[in-house]
Structure 1
Amino acid sequence: MTVAITLGPVSVSRAGQTRTERSLFRARELSVTTVLVVALGEIDAANSAELRSFVEDHVAGYQQLVLDLSRLDFFGTDGFSALHAVNVRCSRRGIDWVMVPGPEVSRALRVCDPEGSLPIATNIVSAVAALARGPLRQLQLAPLPK
């Protein structure tokens, strides 16, 4: 897979990139409070943990995350597990986040998240606008029974 992205980062202090066999993950700072993580290629059982780790590594120090999955060619159910983990970790850290799904991710969400519990937006601009409007509904973690 060959990928070329011509848009440069707004700030390079937190920029990052990781390439796996079938995917490319990129991060760039949109503002001092917001980071954009982009995934290209495929997310499946072989690399869903890398997506989760990449997001976790690049969200540290930010209050907001935009996760752009709109250009994925394939998104398996293991990718949904990674999204659930991102949701839990963001909730624990008090990080607001919004995902921009493409057709592959939307298909998986219809099956795996029919209630629409994960925050989504139609594009990056609307994701940033949703984050700017204020805190999104966060996952509420309940304590374990004793």
Structure 2
Amino acid sequence: MPSIDHLKFSTEWLAPFEVRITVAGSVDAANAAELSEYVLRRGANSRHLTLDMTGVDFLSTAGFSVLCSISERCARANVDWTLVSNPTVRRVLDICDPHLTLPLAS
């Protein structure tokens, strides 16, 4: 699992066009761009992307902004995506995304 500034990523292809990207660690302004680049590069050929952030122990507003950008890019590319969160991530989403525009897994 590659690590960038205390952020770890892994990619698992579940089917030819279905990918699960797992993120662990702290997402902040110092590494939010790397998160975006990793997800967009590794999920480029998918039709369904699951972004598993259950291992994230800190999510800054810069990280939230990256999630919004990923959502926009997926919409433009016609990629269905799902965000798997945890209480830490959900707390930020509750504040920054009160209308639940991001596709959270139930």
Common topology (TM > 0.5): yes
2:86 corresponding residue in structure 1? 102
1:29-77 CA distances to partner (integer Å, 9 max, x unpaired)?
A: 0111210000001100011111110000011111000000011111111
Matches within 5 A, 1:1-146: 17-122=1-106
Between Structure 1 and Structure 2, whose CA radius of gyration is higher? 1
Contact 2:5 2:30 in 1 (8 A): no
Mind listing any 5+ residue stretches in structure 2 that lack a counterpart?
none
Q: Match of 1:61, as an amino acid?
A: N
C-alpha displacement of 1:18: 2.7
Mind listing any 5+ residue stretches in structure 1 that lack a counterpart?
1-16, 123-146
How many Å separate the matches in 1 of 2:94 and 2:12? 29
* Structure with the larger strand share: 2
C-alpha displacement of 1:21: 2.0
Contact 2:29 2:63 in 1 (8 A): yes
The count of corresponding residues between Structure 1 and Structure 2 is: 106
With the length of structure 1 as denominator, give the TM-score of the two structures.
0.70
| Amino-acid identity (%) | 37
- Per chain length, whose mean CA-contact separation is higher, i.e. which structure has more relative contact order (CA < 8 Å, sep 6+)? 2
Residue 51 of structure 1 aligns to a residue in which SS?
helix
